[in-house]
Structures are given as C-alpha cells and as structure tokens.
Structure 1
C-alpha cells in the first residue's frame, strides 16, 4: 500500500495531521463479532484507541502492525468510520491491482524487491546469495549498471510500472530491469553497454567510468524532468553483478540520495564518490557543527549573501582556479578577485591559501546544512 499517498489524502480531506508508525502485533486487538478484544482469535481490528491516540490499521507484517495515527480529540466518531472505510478502499484497490501483475518482468521485479528489502532489514544476511526462486534469473548474474531514481511526484501522483518501464526502455534504447522499491523509489538495472557502446578508444581513455555514469544520470534526470511532472533525484554506482552485491549497492545509493537531498540543496545528481565529505560530516552533532562555524567565521551565523556563497562554492568546485571560476560565473577575473578580497576583509580568511580554504570549505558546507534545520 502506498501509505504516504493514503496519509496525504486523509490529511487533505479531514484537515487533520496523521503520522505513520508501528505497533507490536500482540498489542493489537482482535475483531470478534464486530467488537474489539485483546488476545483472542479472529481478524485484526481496523482501529484502536489508546492513550489519547487513535490508530488505524494500514497493513499487517511479520511481528507488527503498521498504523496511521492521529490525536483522538481531533477525530469524531463519524470521521473514524470514514477513515476505516477509506483505508479499506485503498486496500481493496491495491489487491485488485496486484492481481493484474501478470507480466514476467513485473513479477520478477517484485521478487527482486522482496529479496533486497529482506537483506536490508537483516544485516546478518546482507551479502548472501539470492533465494532459490531467483537463482535461475540470468539477469542477476550479468554485469549491470545500477541506478536509483527517487521521485517526488507532483499532486501526490505515482508512477505506473508499465508506463515507466516503456519510457525507460525507449530512453536507454535497451530492455532494462525496473524494480519498484520503497514509495517513490525505483531501481533500474541496465547493461554495461550503456556506458561503453558507441564510444571510441580515445573517448574511453579520456572519460572515466565515473564521468560516464555522471553523464548517464544527468541524461536520465533531464528526460524524467521533461517527460513527467515532479522532482527527480538520481544516483548510480559502478557496474556490478546483482546476485553478488545488489542489496548493499542499493543501501549505498539510498544513502547518497538522502545525504545529497539534505546537504546539497538544488542538486539532483547524487553520486557516492562525490559525497565522501558529506558522509563524513553528516553524523557530527549539531552543536559541534555550530561550534566549528563560529570558530572559523568568528560568529555562528556569517550572514553570507547568495552572491558570496555562489562565488565560494564555484571557486572550491573548480579547485580554487581563478580563471575557470570567473568563466563559470561569467564575470571578469578582476571582479572575482575583488569578491575574494572583500570576503578576506570581512572575515580575515583568504581562500587562496590552502589551509584557510579548507576551513572555509568545511564551515560553508556545515553552515548550509545547519541553516536549513
């Protein structure tokens, strides 16, 4: 069930905030002749009120019940019945749709998704071979390029498997394996030829695998943004054999997109090898981040305007090269030098000095993160 979609729809209808959580299955009441009783045989009840909170059952999984919760005081009895009916309708629709999953590709995709999620839930089995029912799938034993597509759809719309599969097959001009993961997440497995076909030897020498993957992600993002309405984030990893390492690669790609969305506002391509510094800084406690910013800039909030921030980011991105930075910003070299000198006068920091540039780079990156919190 697309629980985020259910939550958004109910919040819009009832103008009441909901949250998604889990409750141990042994704590959930049973349905007996229309009444709820604990620890009895029978089907699970549709809702439960406890401690000022009303919980609505979304789905039942091994060991727990996934619920949609709201404050009891905000939900009338008639609204409670409406929520139960709405969730039941969503559940019925999902069952109806699941019966239409009859293509071999789609059935395989759901089996792969279950294998990935099972391994990611239990780190003790992470890296183990695919289950027996997948062992005969040759697609899992050939080298593939993994791409993770995170979709922030407009108007709470979601992608249809068949429509997205056709779009991707047409874009890549090959048959790709498409796997729906979590809500808004799609895993794409394409042949290694996506970054090797139609490239001469000279180009292969000049362009690294990382550059080729970055170009592939950029093209995919551009296509998705133009074909469908919404914001799309893309990540990729080196060619690999899915049967050997797919779950762990998916974990890396998820981490890259999560960190990129959090720390690189306005960027949509998030590649793991470009985020080493971000991954290193992410776990640092907020108080330590603020302390470092204050030590570098002599105050917690340096009040940098957009022009200064853009200038510094471009300067660091281009390895502190004055000429290349001026070209990228479409300004004269002397204008760039003036901006850098002005920053030095205001902060006492000269970013043309290696040691001071490192401090400013780190402080700027931390400042951008703390500013959004």
Structure 2
C-alpha cells in the first residue's frame, strides 16, 4: 500500500491533477466486478454503450454514458469518477480520478502502468515496497524525535504503535552524521543507507532528522568488539580506541563518496527503545562541544570530552571572570598558532617532552625552548602538574569564549 501511495504521488506530479486511493464498499465492489466481467466477455472498448458525447476540461469529446472506458479503467457515472483497479483479482481497492480530469490517452497510460505493476515479479515488487516502507518508518521516527526534542521530553518512551520498534534493540551504538556544504548536494536517504550497510556489513537503522542530519543506530556486534563495559579501565580505553577507528573509517568512506564537510559524533551503546530523544540530545551536545574544542577534527566521541564538557557547562560570565582574574594578559599567547599547537600536542601526549617533540617533528631542545618561553610570558611552567592544569583550563575557556 505504501508503494501504491508513492506511485499516486508521482502520477499526480506528472499528470497535474488530483488522484486518490479508495476502498470500495460492498455495493461498489459488486458494480466494479460486474463491469470487469462485461469487459472480459465482450472486449468492450472506449465509449461502447452509447454514442452520446460530452466535452471534458481539455476540449475532447468522450462518451457520456460509457461504463467501460478502456481496458482496466471504469467510469462511475453517478459519482463522476474513473476507477482503476489496483489489483484485477481484488476489486475492493481502486485508484480514483475525476471523470473530466484525464484525456483518453492519459487514462490508457495509467491503466497500462497498473497492469504492468501487477505483471511484475512479486519478489521485485515486495522488495521495492519494503524499501519504501523502511524509509517511511525512519521518517516517522525522525519526526517523532524532533517533536520530543522541541518539547524537552528527553526521556520519552518510543510509542508501541511505531512499527520501527521491531528494528531496534536494547544494545545499539548511536552515531550522529552531519553534512555541511554550500554547493555539494546532500546525499539521498537511499544512497546513504546503501553505503552505510556496506560499511557496517549488516542492517542498520538510518533516521533523518534535518535536511543534512542523520542518526545511525547499529547493533553492537556489527562494530566488531566494541563494548560498553566500564569495569576495567584498560578495556574502556580499548573500546574508545576501537570506536574512534571505526568512526575514522566511516568518515573516510563518506567523505570520499560525496563532496562536502562531514562530521560524526558517537557515544557508547544505548537502549534504543527507551529515552531515544535523550540519546539524540547527547549526540548533538557531543558534536557541539567537539567542534568547539577540536576545531580541526571531524570525529567527536563523548568518552574523550570529559573536561571539555565540564568547561562548556560553566556560565559565560564565570568564564569571562576567570579569564580576567587569573589569565589576564595570558590569552594573547593562544593567538600564536605555533604556541597553540605546541600546547595542544603537549597536553594530548600527557606532557611527555620526548613524545611531543617527535610528534611535532622538532628537536627536544626546541620544544624545551618553547616551553621556557611560555613560562617567561605567563609565569606558569606546564611541566609542573598544577601549572599544566591551570594552562589547560585557561586554554579551554579561551576556546569556548572566543567561539561564542
């Protein structure tokens, strides 16, 4: 039925007139069945019963009392409607058009289209219908999520009547994908779903939110070893690394397939049947925080943004107050790209001088010179834990304040 509704929409766009699907009552079904039997027995064609004519809206003469217009199309004179049986074996459902709305050739084309659909292999029809239904369910979920988020109902349960529930489980890893480009077209739902399934090597749920924003829900086993067990720190770090690698591969695939700027955020596995709006909110927050503090990155994981999330939650006036009182004159230091990259690499590599020098492709003494220069200008030695914490927080506050 979903496929037929889609066909009706396409026909309306092509013919420029209103069409509809109608379920006949018992009397109407009997009338149509008799009309179809007469056509089969006598081979009736357009205008069989009487020669009296009338003119339609396009100035063409058509039979005024004809019951059968063309094979597969029937006019109900009392209702002023043309009926096209959706299924010749079941006359209870028809495609309806106004009797003055279509030319004879258009009527024949519609009847021919419906006949060809009935003759198509059942497997091909069911497969196409399943794809259309799948997209419709995804759009329905996307609409529901937007309504809950706008209403602030983050803990809302997924309604039982929403058919997409059958595709969701209690352990699914969620991703948020955003595409930004002023010139490149946004990928279509079908093309993106096909690409994602090839990468995940299995069925996933793709939910459109905005025109350039999608939620991806994947069964945990598709990610090959990624878990959410936080009992052991080593295991948690390994899971984060695996999720990061998985997102990197996904980003490379999508950005290679389509032109544009793509960003991906991800959080550990969630129960997709409960509090799904909250999951979307967390993904969006992770995306915003990640893009604020990791400007050059395209992948943002909630598990790697703990301190950034805390700084982001500080009210703006308190951020500004801290910068005025404790970092007055120091923030200019972050305007220098060399100093900024040095500090970011130094903190990222756990304040390890040797590893940072290797990462920056500079001599160890060159790095020490830069760190000494920072100490001279700020009075803070980032090789000392307490000073490093203060500089790190100042840097984060500077980033979020500058970008506000």
Aligning the two structures, in what range does the TM-score lie when normalised by the shorter sequence? 0.5 to 0.7
Correspondent of 1:191 among 213, 219, 226 = 219
TM-score (norm. length: structure 2): 0.61
Correspondent of 2:134 among 76, 80, 105 = 105
Pairing 1:201-240 to 2, within 5 Å after superposition: 208-240=238-270
Query: What SS does the aligned partner of 1:147 have?
Result: strand
Query: What SS does the aligned partner of 2:274 have?
Result: helix
Question: Does structure 1 residue 344 correspond to structure 2 residue 375?
Answer: yes
Distance 2:387 2:225 in 1: 44
- After superposition, the Cα gap between the structure-2 partners of 1:162 and 1:276, relative to the gap in structure 1 and judged at 3 Å, is same
- After superposition, the Cα gap between the structure-2 partners of 1:139 and 1:364, relative to the gap in structure 1 and judged at 3 Å, is same
Largest Rg, 1 or 2: 2
* 1:149–1:232 contact (8 Å) kept in structure 2: yes
- How far the C-alpha of 1:130 sits from its partner, in A, is 1.6
Pairing 1:82-101 to 2, within 5 Å after superposition: none
RMSD: 2.6
Distance 1:249 1:164 in 2: 21
- How far the C-alpha of 1:210 sits from its partner, in A, is 1.9
* 2:255–2:262 contact (8 Å) kept in structure 1: yes
Give the structure 1 partner of residue 167 of structure 2: 139
TM-score (norm. length: structure 1): 0.66
State the number of aligned residues: 269
Give the structure 2 partner of residue 151 of structure 1: 179
- After superposition, the Cα gap between the structure-2 partners of 1:336 and 1:110, relative to the gap in structure 1 and judged at 3 Å, is same
Pairing 1:1-373 to 2, within 5 Å after superposition: 103-123=132-152, 125-134=153-162, 137-155=165-183, 157-196=185-224, 208-299=238-329, 301-304=331-334, 305-373=336-404
Give the structure 1 partner of residue 40 of structure 2: none
Distance 1:268 1:109 in 2: 25
- After superposition, the Cα gap between the structure-2 partners of 1:303 and 1:352, relative to the gap in structure 1 and judged at 3 Å, is closer
- How far the C-alpha of 1:163 sits from its partner, in A, is 1.0
- How far the C-alpha of 1:136 sits from its partner, in A, is 7.0
Q: Which runs of 5+ in 2 are unaligned?
A: 1-128, 228-233
* 2:172–2:220 contact (8 Å) kept in structure 1: yes
* 2:333–2:339 contact (8 Å) kept in structure 1: no
Distance 1:347 1:228 in 2: 45
Distance 1:303 1:275 in 2: 23
Query: What SS does the aligned partner of 2:155 have?
Result: coil
Query: What SS does the aligned partner of 1:368 have?
Result: helix
- After superposition, the Cα gap between the structure-2 partners of 1:250 and 1:300, relative to the gap in structure 1 and judged at 3 Å, is same
Distance 2:240 2:210 in 1: 26
Q: Which runs of 5+ in 1 are unaligned?
A: 1-99
Q: Which string of whole-angstrom CA distances, capped at 9 and with x for unpartnered residues, describes residues 308-328 of structure 1?
A: 111111111111111221121
- How far the C-alpha of 1:370 sits from its partner, in A, is 2.9
